Amino acid sequence: MEKFLITGFSGFVSQHFLNLLESMKVHVAVLGMDIQLPGFSFEHYKFVKCQFCKTDLLDKNQVDNTLYQFQPDYILHLASYSSVAFSWKNPSASFANNTNIFLNLLEQIRTMNLKCRIISVGSSEEYGNVDIKDIPLKESQELKPVSPYAVARVSQEMLSKVYVDGYGLDIILTRSFNHIGPGQKDIFVISSFAKQLVEIKNQTKIPQLQTGNLGITRDFLDVRDVVKAYYTLFKKGRKGEVYNICSGVGITLADIIQKMADILSIKITTVTDTSLIRPNDNLLIKGSNEKIKKETGWDTTISLDQSLRDILKYWEKV
């Protein structure tokens, strides 16, 4: 029975990864690690045998004991402070946490000589502000991070390369672009818009959205396609390589809002709130997924429109 360890288990992505494993109808063991308790149930799966261990990844003894007892074949490292906005407000905490928890994990794996494959989840934020001629972004593009969060992600990527080349660890790196889907917290922009639009539809909120810069372009990918990419990389990715996880399509936030308003058949106005505009935001992010498609056969399966419909349905039920 294959064993998967998931850090950051209580976050948005892991539940969808569990659902994917269950859909394959193959018996697997999963151990979730997080400093917070998960807000979802994981006992109902038939094929996935899942356990949870409340763990502070900065505590070497906790990490060592968990790794030694579970002996994972695969580690999906999702744990992080994943909000760019949070990193601007708390740069020291964001950088120290995101870098040190990963370094601590790698050190324990190295000293234990644990043979497993690790996915180090990075971010499209690593690319920073780029020239239009460099779009779509490829993995060979120079990294120019412009936020504390992005700098931490670049550091994590560089640490990965050190541990691959210097210690022989089996690590695959991703630069995961903005992922969206049902169940995402409303601290993230698309989920926040969706929640507010549903409230407008239900007439519990005036038909007006407070927004930041709606002119920025992002590459959004459904979380269910994201987790398929992670699983595919576990099986077919190349050690030490970096892969973009993206849709390859760019769209402005203004167009996203309009799409959701059309789905709900409502009319709204938007008002710019300067407090929601980041100090130095990436204006255009669109990636190339050519490499992961070519090397692993992965491809997107869920359209942006379907993602938005599912997100709106989620908020209608909450």
- Domains of the chain: which residue ranges? 2-180+220-248+286-301, 189-216+250-284+309-317
Assign 87 a pLDDT band (cuts: 50, 70, 90): confident
Band (280; pLDDT cuts 50, 70, 90)? low
Q: Give whole-number Cα distances, 167 to 107, 163, 164, 172, 273, in Å.
A: 10, 5, 6, 14, 48
Please spell the DSSP secondary structure of 208-219, one letter per residue.
EEEES-TT-EE-
What is the rounded CA–CA span in Å between residue 7 and residue 35?
9
Per-residue model confidence (pLDDT) at position 83: 78
Give the whole-number percent of the chain exceeding pLDDT 70: 97
- Confidence (pLDDT) at 96: 85
Separation of alpha carbons 129 and 137, rounded Å: 11
Q: What pTM did the predictor assign? A: 0.95
**pLDDT tens digits, 183-236:** 999 988 999 999 999 999 999 888 998 888 899 999 999 999 999 999 999 999
The pLDDT value recorded for residue 152 is 94
Q: What pLDDT, in 10s, does the model give residues 110-160?
A: 999 999 999 999 999 999 988 899 999 999 999 999 899 999 999 999 999
pLDDT at 94 over 90: no
pLDDT at 171 over 80: yes
How do 269-272 and 208-211 pair as beta strands? parallel
- Residue 88 pLDDT level (bands cut at 50, 70, 90): confident
Mean pLDDT score of the chain? 94
| Per-residue model confidence as pLDDT tens digits over 242-252 | 999 999 999 99
Omega prior to 136 cis, within 30 of 0: yes
Of 1.10.287.990, 3.90.1150.10, 3.20.20.80, 3.40.50.720, the CATH number of 2-180+220-248+286-301 is 3.40.50.720
**pLDDT tens digits, 307-317:** 999 999 999 99
- Selected residue with higher pLDDT from 308 and 277: 308
What is the percent of the chain with per-residue pLDDT over 90, rounded to a whole number? Answer: 81
Which class in CATH covers the domain with range 189-216+250-284+309-317? alpha beta
Residue keyed to tokens 């659902």: 19
